[in-house]
Structure 1
Amino acid sequence: MARHFDFPGGIHPPARKQRSAEAPLRSAPLPSRVVLPLQQHIGTPAEPCVSPGQYVRTGERIAIAQGMVSTDIHASISGWVRSIESHPVPHPSGERASCIVIDGDDKDEWQRLPVLNWRQSHHAELIERLRHAGIVGLGGATFPAQIKAAIGEHHRIDSLVVNAAECEPYITTDDVMLRTHADDVVEGARLMAHLCGAERILIGIEDDKPEAINALEASLRASGTDDDAPIALRVIATRYPSGGEKQLIKRLLNREVPSRGLPADIGVLCHNPGTLRAAVQAVREGRPMVSRVVTLTGAAVNRPGNVEARLGSLMCDLLAAAELREAEVSRLIMGGPLMGFELSHTEIPLVKASNCLIAATQDELPTAPPEQPCIRCGACETACPAGLLPQQLYWYARSHDHDKAELFNLFDCIECGACDFVCPSHIPLAQYFRAAKDEIRFRRHEALKAEHARHRFELRQARMEREAAEKEARRQARKAAIRRRSQDQGLSEDSQPTETTDNAANAVMEDDIKTLRIAQAAARAAVKKAEKALARASETGEGDIDDLEVQLATARENLRTTESRLSAAREARENAS
């Protein structure tokens, strides 16, 4: 029997999974209208490629990925594009974002991508398919799948971990989907192992999912392939947050992801079951990501369960189909009760990150009591699965002492909420930590923007000084040529220059072309440097990706400008000759 390891801390909150796990997976009604945000993934928002009034089919691309960390967006129903407008989206602050609104025609006409055989296709073709199919991580992070698939080019991956732990209360998305589509998940794991070069596949699942475990065992017995990486099913004891990728890697492999590091740094790649199923559907069936499985649950819902719903469906429609009793809803939460966030209303769309909707009554999830002073009991430290000191981080976050907070590894916090759960003073510790992280990121982003602006200003000043110097040199050359001609022929300086002046002007042109060639080489080097910095940031997760993409765009624009000036200078030389 395989040996299991452990991680520090953890808690055992009430699971409350039974109501939604009892019902089989069902399909949600086809929506009459969908609202599709342009950013349903980490990275740069996609750019719309449709216009109002245009007819689109289900699966047709309606927004194109921008930059390295981005994915395409696809129509989730067939119909007409109504508008591209700002609309409320799922976010703790209730913010609005740019969305494409589509009115359906109830026909659900599809436009699929070409079917591929992943065992016979080139890696580059498969990675592009994941990008163009809009596949992202469905465990909550929504990281573009094509980047993980290509990570074997930069890291040696020996183990692919399928994270089927699903440890947070209420959520049963993976559990019910594995019972129904275990074969797809297993094939998706083989596909991803094939792409990243993993030598083995480990499926980690908690022991409170017996039906999913049985379905996986049956699928593994039926799908054994000698040429593929071996797959091992590891059943672990239920404890929150075993579903954190660092915690699951520790339990399965006894490896620790370094501080501020990634699983790839220790040869591991993690994927959610829903992501694997979506990936294999994109390759095998040419099906873009236009739907996802979501848990609809809570005491205020008469018909809890898991439904496969089209992206962009309004949450009010999904909850109405689950027979929501609106008068009894006290809290509406997207995600789990520990890591999710409350929604102010239900007129917002289902997105790729939406794995659960909890309509809770006051008795079920009562409002948190008022925050009390910390009594220094140390319970948060005992419960922390990352081995941090939440009490110390709390003081630093509250006093905005960000340097000290980072010194105590603030960014290793996975925001699981275990410290909140055990705190007798009801301090929302994870909220403090999240706010401190956002403030640090904002400060860094502003510093990078200021540095970038300073760099652009210095480049502009240098360019203006260089152009002024070149202009003055040309003026002096013309003046000297006229003076020499006047001395030789006894003419005044106002006389028209002849061959001597032309030769001087040509010499100036050659100097201009030489200077522009040097500037062109420097601009090309700047573009390569910016591309490398962006690729490194995409792999490690460190650095401001948006700012790096701006720097790359600026470098490319500078290169285009320099090449245009060089081309104009060469053309002027040819005309002069």
Structure 2
Amino acid sequence: MSRELFKFKGGIHPPGHKAESTGRPIHPAPLPKKLVIPLRQHIGNPARPIVDVGERVLKGQLIAAADGAISTAVHASSSGIVSAIGPARVPHISGLPDECITIETDGRDEWIAHGPLDYQAMTRADLLAHLRDMGLAGLGGAVFPSAVKLDPGAAQTCPTLIINGGECEPWITCDDMLMRTQADAILQGVAIMRHLLGSSEILIGIEDNKPEAIAAMQAATAKTDFAVETVSLPTRYPGGGAKQMIETLTGKQVPSGKLSTDIGIQVFNVGTAYALARAVHHGEPLISRLVTVTGHVLRAQNVEALIGTPFDTLIQLAGDRDGTTGVLMGGPMMGLPIPDTSVPVVKATNCILVESAELFPPPPKALPCIRCTRCADACPAELQPQELFRFAKSDDFGRAQEYHLFDCIECGCCSYVCPSHIPLVDFYRYAKSEIWARERDKRAADLARERHEFRLFRQEREKTEKAEKLAAKAQAKRAELAAAPTEAGNSGTSEADAKKALIAAALARAQAKKTETTPQNTDNLSPDTQQEIAEIETRRAKIRALARKPLESEETP
């Protein structure tokens, strides 16, 4: 009996262009002379370097440790010498550098000692910490640290586990080819996920334009000792999005501002499951991934590329052609333009799409919005893109947030159907970045204000404590002086004599305290030193005697 499927709102049907890169077998990319490995390849804090320049490292060696709760480790993709630790170009639309570790490879590709892990004998906490140190991150695009997603938290279980093999983005086929060739290994990774999450329902969603992948996964699931259902999904972009796949398979919607785990569902990419299996059953950290190289190249294909391999190397392997107009990391809907093709492959690099004027003609000039609402009809997140565009363009970020700007998954459906050719997603990204920047500034200002207020509070507290001490001391003095007349009356002396007596007593106490102070370092003195001290004291006595003697001008004639 086939599973009941549901339909998410919106979506489009762009040309797939899948066949271009699935006709050739997967093979490893050549080892480059230099690997540039960024420390920020995942959501969260960048990894912290633990190697030094000039140090020789081995393939799979930990070179940067996870730093913080949301972070994951980074490893050497091959053996060689660490030649630099510092800023280098990374695959980002800005073209700006980021912290990287550069390795000059030695051509030996020498591994560290590694082997399988008995994960069933480990505690959940130890296994998650190990996976964090293996550098696992989501390979579906979000690159969220896998150890965090595999922790069910206080719930202890996540009832439904979905393995995402949708790969709805045009041109990209790395997940398709991975499922065709590594179905058994993917299921091994799924078993580990099931062990950690305690899931009772496991679904694998694959769009129906990948019949070979569906057949391979169905054959693999038939051999497992736990229930797994491979489901063929209608091909509709962005059906491979996590929220859209959840709704298609279960009919449930993830509430705005919530996570899928809040409704008992967790979603992982097939590439993540495969990397997890390699980490646990072979002891291999995440140092390579499958990359689709397609578009304006001679031999579109999928290659197994080491993390840190330059884009140039893979483009030349696929056959560089004249007439290239640009390069995208990712697909045409959500990919990032890469201004410099010398940047390295990272964990998020699922596709290198080479553009040409023929395949990707320049977009027409943007015209004013005509309020046709086609974008709203196509939006899979059920937003009002035309309103978000208006608010973003006018910097009315508060209203944009009221219209759930951060529910936008930036799929590009709105831009694709816009008859005015407005780059709507660019405006949403701008608005999000401005809101994040203002939130950072606000947090910094709040922290500065809290520090200032605490400093003022501390100063006021110290001033109050000092005043209270002085008041207490004055009160004690007044009480002492008030008691003096009574004692004087009892002894038959005057008040003035009592005050003089108090002053004399105070001077006597001070003199006694001074007398009690013993000189330091006066033990075991030599005879010469003792004689020198005696002479000094004699001179001091003479000076004190002269000081007490009246001057001749003051003597009585």
Q: Indicate the TM-score class for this superposition, using the shorter chain for normalisation.
A: 0.7 to 0.9
Matched AA of 1:314:
P
Separation in structure 1 between the aligned mates of residue 459 and residue 132 of structure 2, nearest angstrom: 42
Partner of 1:148: 149
Matched, 1:431 2:446: no
Q: 1:284 aligns with which of 278, 281, 284?
A: 281
Say if 1:452 and 1:489 are closer, same or farther in 2 by CA, change over 3 A: same
Q: Deviations over 1:81-100 (max 9, x none)?
A: 00112111111211211111
SS of the equivalent of 1:119 reads helix
Partner of 1:393: 388
Say if 1:306 and 1:452 are closer, same or farther in 2 by CA, change over 3 A: same
Matched, 1:242 2:243: no
SS of the equivalent of 1:297 reads strand
1:560-571 superposed matches below 5 A: none
Aligned-residue CA RMSD (Å): 2.5
Partner of 1:200: 201
Separation in structure 2 between the aligned mates of residue 351 and residue 15 of structure 1, nearest angstrom: 24
Matched, 1:255 2:252: yes
Say if 1:256 and 1:72 are closer, same or farther in 2 by CA, change over 3 A: same
SS of the equivalent of 2:506 reads coil
1:353-502 superposed matches below 5 A: 353-467=348-462, 487=502, 490-492=505-507, 495=510
1:318-333 superposed matches below 5 A: 318-325=314-321, 327-333=322-328
Partner of 1:513: none
1:27-38 superposed matches below 5 A: 27-38=28-39
Comparing 327-336 and 233-242, the one that deviates more: 327-336
Comparing 385-394 and 268-277, the one that deviates more: 385-394
How far the C-alpha of 1:328 sits from its partner, in A, is: 1.5
Matched AA of 2:54:
G
Say if 1:317 and 1:135 are closer, same or farther in 2 by CA, change over 3 A: same
Comparing 437-446 and 35-44, the one that deviates more: 437-446
Say if 1:497 and 1:117 are closer, same or farther in 2 by CA, change over 3 A: farther
Partner of 1:183: 184
Partner of 2:128: 127
Say if 1:204 and 1:493 are closer, same or farther in 2 by CA, change over 3 A: farther
Separation in structure 2 between the aligned mates of residue 135 and residue 493 of structure 1, nearest angstrom: 79
Separation in structure 1 between the aligned mates of residue 460 and residue 376 of structure 2, nearest angstrom: 59
How far the C-alpha of 1:472 sits from its partner, in A, is: 6.7
Say if 1:398 and 1:469 are closer, same or farther in 2 by CA, change over 3 A: same
Separation in structure 2 between the aligned mates of residue 428 and residue 384 of structure 1, nearest angstrom: 14
How far the C-alpha of 1:471 sits from its partner, in A, is: 6.3
- What's the TM-score once normalised by structure 1's chain length? 0.82
How far the C-alpha of 1:283 sits from its partner, in A, is: 1.3
Separation in structure 2 between the aligned mates of residue 216 and residue 172 of structure 1, nearest angstrom: 16
Partner of 2:310: 314
Partner of 2:493: none
Q: Deviations over 1:167-187 (max 9, x none)?
A: 000000100011111111111
How far the C-alpha of 1:467 sits from its partner, in A, is: 4.8
How far the C-alpha of 1:478 sits from its partner, in A, is: 8.5
1:151-230 superposed matches below 5 A: 151-154=152-155, 156-222=157-223, 224-225=224-225, 228=226, 230=227
Is the CA contact 1:155–1:265 (under 8 Å) kept in the aligned structure 2?
no
Partner of 1:558: none
SS of the equivalent of 2:232 reads strand
Comparing 476-485 and 43-52, the one that deviates more: 476-485
How far the C-alpha of 1:5 sits from its partner, in A, is: 0.6
Partner of 2:535: none
SS of the equivalent of 1:243 reads coil
Is the CA contact 1:294–1:357 (under 8 Å) kept in the aligned structure 2?
yes
Q: Deviations over 1:277-300 (max 9, x none)?
A: 11121111111111111100012x
Is the CA contact 1:295–1:305 (under 8 Å) kept in the aligned structure 2?
yes
Matched AA of 1:492:
L
Separation in structure 2 between the aligned mates of residue 379 and residue 280 of structure 1, nearest angstrom: 43
Is the CA contact 1:193–1:200 (under 8 Å) kept in the aligned structure 2?
no
Matched AA of 2:378:
A
SS of the equivalent of 2:99 reads strand
SS of the equivalent of 1:22 reads coil
1:64-79 superposed matches below 5 A: 64-79=65-80
1:343-362 superposed matches below 5 A: 343-362=338-357
Is the CA contact 1:112–1:288 (under 8 Å) kept in the aligned structure 2?
no
Calculate percent identity across the aligned residue pairs: 44
How far the C-alpha of 1:259 sits from its partner, in A, is: 0.6
Matched AA of 2:411:
C
Separation in structure 2 between the aligned mates of residue 231 and residue 244 of structure 1, nearest angstrom: 20
How far the C-alpha of 1:152 sits from its partner, in A, is: 4.2
Separation in structure 2 between the aligned mates of residue 262 and residue 111 of structure 1, nearest angstrom: 38
Separation in structure 1 between the aligned mates of residue 147 and residue 376 of structure 2, nearest angstrom: 37
How far the C-alpha of 1:374 sits from its partner, in A, is: 1.0
Say if 1:475 and 1:83 are closer, same or farther in 2 by CA, change over 3 A: farther
Matched AA of 1:389:
Q
Is the CA contact 1:53–1:80 (under 8 Å) kept in the aligned structure 2?
yes
Is the CA contact 1:157–1:196 (under 8 Å) kept in the aligned structure 2?
yes
Unaligned 5+ runs, structure 2: 482-500, 515-557
Separation in structure 2 between the aligned mates of residue 496 and residue 374 of structure 1, nearest angstrom: 94
Partner of 2:330: 335
Is the CA contact 2:156–2:198 (under 8 Å) kept in the aligned structure 1?
no
Is the CA contact 2:56–2:82 (under 8 Å) kept in the aligned structure 1?
yes
Separation in structure 2 between the aligned mates of residue 277 and residue 473 of structure 1, nearest angstrom: 70
Say if 1:151 and 1:453 are closer, same or farther in 2 by CA, change over 3 A: farther
Separation in structure 2 between the aligned mates of residue 16 and residue 445 of structure 1, nearest angstrom: 41
Say if 1:387 and 1:478 are closer, same or farther in 2 by CA, change over 3 A: same
How far the C-alpha of 1:350 sits from its partner, in A, is: 0.7
Separation in structure 2 between the aligned mates of residue 493 and residue 97 of structure 1, nearest angstrom: 73
Task: Compare CA radii of gyration and give the structure with the larger one.
Answer: 2
Matched AA of 2:55:
Q
Q: Deviations over 1:49-97 (max 9, x none)?
A: 1111011111111111111001111111111100112111111211211
Matched AA of 1:432:
F
Separation in structure 2 between the aligned mates of residue 371 and residue 395 of structure 1, nearest angstrom: 14
Matched AA of 1:251:
T
Q: Deviations over 1:514-573 (max 9, x none)?
A: xxxxxxxxxxxxxxxxxxxxxxxxxxxxxxxxxxxxxxxxxxxxxxxxxxxxxxxxxxxx
Comparing 164-173 and 118-127, the one that deviates more: 118-127
Matched, 1:107 2:122: no
Is the CA contact 1:162–1:270 (under 8 Å) kept in the aligned structure 2?
yes
Matched AA of 2:273:
L
Is the CA contact 2:312–2:342 (under 8 Å) kept in the aligned structure 1?
yes
1:11-30 superposed matches below 5 A: 11-30=12-31
Say if 1:18 and 1:477 are closer, same or farther in 2 by CA, change over 3 A: same
Is the CA contact 1:91–1:343 (under 8 Å) kept in the aligned structure 2?
yes
Is the CA contact 1:129–1:282 (under 8 Å) kept in the aligned structure 2?
no
Say if 1:242 and 1:474 are closer, same or farther in 2 by CA, change over 3 A: same
Matched AA of 1:306:
N
Separation in structure 1 between the aligned mates of residue 502 and residue 348 of structure 2, nearest angstrom: 81
SS of the equivalent of 1:492 reads helix
